[in-house]
Amino acid sequence: MSQLEDIQAEYEKFPEELESVIISTVNAQAIPNASYAPFVIDDSKNIYIYVSGLSTHTKNLYDNPHVSVLFIEDEAKSNLIFARRRLSFDCTANLIERETDKWNQIVEQFQGRFGQIIEVLRGLSDFRIFQLTPSEGRFVVGFGAAYHISGDNLNQVVQITGDANKKQE
């Protein structure tokens, strides 16, 4: 395998190592909010979050569907705190309507991953599922090892070189 193929494989597996994602939203007045949510992800790299309608980030998603997500390596597992592995995506959020086939399918994925707590959440009418659809991303595996993520199904990984605006094919 080439180095780029190794990075591609690491990128594909990285979100599976984590159970929650950091989400960054903004409200109608453009005031940012950082939070987190447990997630499930599908084969097209859509990220689903199951969140309370009472939370700030949920209110923000209704006001502004643009959201940034960050998957980041656990500090305790990192060899160097300044170079934690991380994957970020720029996304657009869409509400999945309750009790639709898609909603039920996603809830089943949450239950399979997180267990009985989902039965409790399923009964709470304020909880919502949002689909976060990524448009592009960045995968950082260390110093000088940053990769732009783009393409159909977000499957194109291109190393970012010295100039932040230049990418190496």
Residue 35 domain boundaries: 3-159
Q: What percent of the chain has pLDDT over 90?
A: 77
Q: Is residue 53 part of a domain?
A: yes
- Asked if residue 147 lies in contact with residue 159, where contact means CB atoms within 8 angstroms, the answer is yes
Q: Is residue 168 part of a domain?
A: no
* Total of domains in the chain: 1
CATH number at residue 13: 2.30.110.10
pLDDT for 52: 95
Q: Is residue 131 part of a domain?
A: yes
Q: Label residue 169 by pLDDT band (50, 70, 90).
A: very low
As given in the structure block, the two tokens for residue 48 are: 């689903």
Q: Provide the 8-state DSSP code for 79.
A: S
Q: Is residue 93 part of a domain?
A: yes
Q: Is residue 165 part of a domain?
A: no
In one letter, which amino acid is 94?
A: N
Is residue 4 over pLDDT 90?
A: no
Closest to 98 in 3D by CA, of 66, 115, 121, 117: 121
Q: Is residue 155 part of a domain?
A: yes
pLDDT in tens, 25-53: 999 999 999 999 999 999 899 999 999 99
For 53-73, what is the mean pLDDT? Answer: 96
Is residue 161 over pLDDT 90?
A: no
pLDDT in tens, 101-149: 999 999 999 999 999 999 999 999 999 999 999 999 999 998 889 999 9
Mean predicted lDDT score pLDDT of the chain:
92
Q: Is residue 45 part of a domain?
A: yes
Q: Is residue 164 part of a domain?
A: no
The 3-class secondary structure across 23-52, one letter per residue, is EEEECCCCCEEEEEEEEEECCCCCEEEEEE
Q: For residue 80, what are the CA distances in angstroms to 74, 77, 85, 142, 167?
A: 11, 9, 10, 9, 25
